[in-house]
Structure 1
């Protein structure tokens, strides 16, 4: 679904029409499977994310209703798990530049899945905290390793396409996993919860098996920085020292442009917190819309991502296109925030209609911002340190996820429409910053 150069379609929001039908969608998705690297990643993602979907559906209720944790304790468990994920993102990328990314990814996925399966045997706050922390840590390390695999396993104009395909598969699989989790919710017994959780964890672990089909081509090139030998066989210490200096110089921590991109992308990434945290609270506390509207909006979001993520990511490996779609995403988030704000105090049917319109704008902002972020995160990274760069970028998104509930609560939930205007300004400022980085980088090429 990518093109060799900029595609005008990527600078506008795709519209539903004859060109976007389920048949065409699945045909395009199937055509991508000719690539063995993408085929292995899709197979691994499809299975493992079904397992993750189970946990998204039942984790909080398992903690509070089955184990008996308080809401505050459950929040601490999830927050600490996310914090461990921040460290895991950084470490996973760093390791992927030094050892086999495919073997590391396989190992991390297996361990993370087993930690999730072990949830079935938890019975108190401490055990839940330990297992959630370990699972979040290893899952984030696995995600960074996979990002390094994508960076090395595909041509520049195919990386964003691969990420878009994998995100589409992720959404479908998580939806399927949530359906499995509904079995436990329907039965409501401790045994049902534990069986479903153990099954979900084992699915996550089994999802790592297709990664074993990947070849060494996705691993980092062999690095010899400690022993560089001359023609006579002696160690060339000067060359070794120069190689080490060059390696350190390529660190993402020395790349101020990339670090700024990471920070701005993390800020814009707080839009996920708006959907997951802000919208449910806004609906229940400020609008007349029924609570079931939350589920309806989630369905709208998932369906649009599945249908349009691959299409909207076309051409965003080009720096200019990536910058433009991010700018469009910024304005879409401004529109979404304003529409959400208007839903307060209106009759239920009007509020529902506005919330749906807001979610449509929000979702296309999400789709386009992700496409732009992927393109820039790959194209502005040093290819010799792909793992470290992707680890830093992933860490930024993890930090944004941690901060988003606090920021959303301090703005929209606390100040109502004025708070939504604050959020809109934050998203627009981040988009402008990313657009400026992309424009300057494109001009210097």
Structure 2
């Protein structure tokens, strides 16, 4: 009897856990991070209200683009710094340091006596507000088995989305007369986040041993991964049209409230469906949901922007939302699987950096083409989506080859 039980034991251990079991039994550092991210995102108003704040300070429309350009440069630079610190120092040091420095920058904005001091705070906040993300992704990788990463990253995104849903409600209650209190709330939330990480996370988790084992791998990004990152840039440029040219197209034809309803549809679907969907995508190679998500995001964005009837636009939104749910939790896990063991944080930093660059360039490029010829824009989106798809297929083939 005992011999039969022992023979049956390995298959039982190999049986995939449910996504709810994965989340429920996630180690403490994962829960500490995700709790902090939820609280932090609920009080994050920097990007949303920066332009309005600059207007209240008295900056003109001619001065704002220069400031926003500096912010656009600082954000990806912070991601690179955060990823580097995550590997060279520790996940905890990078997380605690970046969130604490972001809190200081936001506090300077809220309490600044003049425009010059406020600008220093703006640059500091832009540099560090998103710098914790590479270390956060690396921490999730450290404390999660490879087959469980996709649901854990989906859970991480759920915390981000739920926090972002609460943020506008807080802003509506607080920012009736002035924007400044919102930045003070953000500073307090980042400080609370930093304190939670400082108390709740363990110290260095054996990074010296991992670094020594992989030191011979060399520095720099392998050529095969440059294509992977370029594919992410391409599909992100397509995806971010949802909040620029798609917004212009839908609002121009059906009104701003119609576009707001579509964003609500997108957010609701992501919150309700992304976690269950991750239970399926984790069972296949990463490049399959990445490819499917890329195709669906491309098709959905083109339909949303080019289609006239509102029901057709709504169908397009559902299509690119499904693509987003397939793609987003997988891409961080894929980056981790492609990274050398000693540079997981830096490669997550590269991911955050290329996404930040695409989020900055995409709307500008899209609106320029939209103003010139809308059909050219949607054709370019289709072309970029096709190139990104080929890039993920190629990266997937390389990943399947033995070293």
**Common fold: TM-score over 0.5:** yes
CA distance in 2, matches of 1:440, 1:381: 13
Does 93-102 or 172-181 show the bigger shift?
A: 93-102
CA distance in 2, matches of 1:295, 1:98: 43
Number of the residue aligned with 1:386: 344
Residue 353 of structure 1 and its aligned partner are, at CA, apart by: 2.4
SS in structure 1 of the partner of residue 253 of structure 2:
coil
The answer to whether 1:38 aligns with 2:63 is no
CA distance in 2, matches of 1:403, 1:364: 24
CA distance in 1, matches of 2:170, 2:369: 35
The answer to whether 1:324 aligns with 2:292 is no
Q: How does 1:155-194 map to 2 (within 5 A)?
A: 155-185=145-175, 187=176, 189-190=177-178, 193-194=179-180
Pair 32,73 (structure 1): closer, same or farther in 2 beyond 3 Å: farther
Which residues of structure 2 form unaligned runs of 5+? Answer: 1-12
Number of the residue aligned with 2:4: none
Q: Which one of the candidate residues 219, 226, 231 is aligned to 1:264?
A: 231
Which residues of structure 1 form unaligned runs of 5+? Answer: 8-23, 226-242, 345-349
CA distance in 1, matches of 2:59, 2:322: 37
CA distances 1:131-169 after superposition (whole Å, capped 9, x unpaired): 222112112322122222122222212233222111111
The answer to whether 1:310 aligns with 2:268 is no
SS in structure 1 of the partner of residue 300 of structure 2:
helix
SS in structure 2 of the partner of residue 288 of structure 1:
helix
Residue 102 of structure 1 and its aligned partner are, at CA, apart by: 0.6
CA distance in 1, matches of 2:259, 2:183: 24
Number of the residue aligned with 2:307: 343
Residue 218 of structure 1 and its aligned partner are, at CA, apart by: 4.1
Number of the residue aligned with 1:255: 222
CA distances 1:171-191 after superposition (whole Å, capped 9, x unpaired): 110110111111245x2x23x
CA distance in 1, matches of 2:206, 2:138: 8
CA distances 1:353-411 after superposition (whole Å, capped 9, x unpaired): 23322221122222222133123201111112212222222222122122212321233
Residue 105 of structure 1 and its aligned partner are, at CA, apart by: 0.6
Equivalent residue pairs, number: 390
Residue 5 of structure 1 and its aligned partner are, at CA, apart by: 9.1
Q: How does 1:362-381 map to 2 (within 5 A)?
A: 362-381=320-339
Residue 210 of structure 1 and its aligned partner are, at CA, apart by: 2.3
CA distance in 1, matches of 2:211, 2:92: 20
Residue 93 of structure 1 and its aligned partner are, at CA, apart by: 1.3
Runs of 4 or more consecutive aligned structure 1 residues displaced over 6 Å after TM superposition: 3-7
Q: Which one of the candidate residues 220, 226, 237 is aligned to 2:207?
A: 220
Q: How does 1:353-364 map to 2 (within 5 A)?
A: 353-364=311-322
In the superposition, the TM-score normalised over structure 2's length comes to 0.87
